[in-house]
Chains A and B, each alone.
Chain A
Amino acid sequence: EAGVAQSPRYKIIEKRQSVAFWCNPISGHATLYWYQQILGQGPKLLIQFQNNGVVDDSQLPKDRFSAERLKGVDSTLKIQPAKLEDSAVYLCASSFIRGTRYEQYFGPGTRLTVT
């Protein structure tokens, strides 16, 4: 079974530029998550999709961050314009639940540096 794919793995941009990250979840996983992980902290949920609908985007800074999952499969996360404090690892994850069994799988992450 292929894992969660993310690209790019690394990105360096200047502040006020824009950037986009891509995620391809595990086939058949209806739920997709984007997390932001700042160095020394645990991941923080930015947005959760169930198929192509948003379940939770309460911690997404909507003035500069946007995300979409148009066909309920791939997803993109965009930052425009970027700030220095956006430097972090952006993790995508997907999950399935079958009865009492729940598994969430994480992608390798995209390390963003804003200079």
Chain B
Amino acid sequence: KNEVEQSPQNLTAQEGEFITINCSYSVGISALHWLQQHPGGGIVSLFMLSSGKKKHGRLIATINIQEKHSSLHITASHPRDSAVYICAVRLPTMEYGNKLVFGAGTILRVKS
């Protein structure tokens, strides 16, 4: 079993829909990252969370440390949001030197 599981693997939405991507993890962490990867492009960091909730524009990320679960929400989705969204957990610094463990990613396609 992978240490970081994402769902769904693939998601197709209509423009304007509210989107949720889920991430569950099984290890102790110091933080959780949500990343975005466009086809042929590098990876961009969207959020880093260690507790609670963060919002940036139409993107909202939440984390429940007790349940080891995080969600990424996209409100009023747009075709330019089409990308792979990756959840990564950062292992505790002292033991693991800030190592990131990645989920497999969620491929999001937003149709106009």
**A interface residues (Cβ-Cβ under 8 A, vs B):** 3-4, 31, 33, 40-45, 48, 50, 55-56, 91, 93, 95, 97, 102-109, 111
Give the residue name and chain of the B residue nearest to A3 (CB): B42
Answer whether residue B98 sits at the interface, using C-beta atoms and an 8 A cutoff.
yes
Q: A31 vs B104: C-alpha distance in the bound complex, in angstroms?
A: 23
Across the interface, do B99 and A56 meet the contact criterion of CB distance under 8 Å? yes
Across the interface, do B43 and A91 meet the contact criterion of CB distance under 8 Å? yes
- B97: chain A residues within 8 A (beta carbon): 31, 48, 50, 55-56
**Given the known A-B contacts A45-B100, A50-B97, A56-B99, are A108 and B42 also in contact in the complex, defined by CB atoms under 8 Å?**
yes
- A111: chain B residues within 8 A (beta carbon): 40
- A44: chain B residues within 8 A (beta carbon): 102
What is the distance, in angstroms, from A86's C-beta to the closest C-beta of chain B? Answer: 19
Answer whether residue B45 sits at the interface, using C-beta atoms and an 8 A cutoff.
yes
Interface size class of B (residues with CB under 8 A): 20 to 34
Give the residue name and chain of the A residue nearest to B48 (CB): A102
**B interface residues (Cβ-Cβ under 8 A, vs A):** 4, 31, 33, 35, 40-45, 48, 86, 88, 90, 93, 96-100, 102-105
Q: A45 vs B42: C-alpha distance in the bound complex, in angstroms?
A: 15
Across the interface, do A95 and B98 meet the contact criterion of CB distance under 8 Å? yes
Across the interface, do A97 and B98 meet the contact criterion of CB distance under 8 Å? yes
What is the distance, in angstroms, from B42's C-beta to the closest C-beta of chain A? Answer: 4
Across the interface, do A43 and B102 meet the contact criterion of CB distance under 8 Å? yes
**Given the known A-B contacts A42-B4, A44-B102, A55-B97, are A107 and B88 also in contact in the complex, defined by CB atoms under 8 Å?**
no
What is the distance, in angstroms, from B99's C-beta to the closest C-beta of chain A? Answer: 6
> Which one of B42, B43, B98, B103 lies within 8 Å of A102 (CB-CB)?
B98
What is the distance, in angstroms, from A88's C-beta to the closest C-beta of chain B? Answer: 13
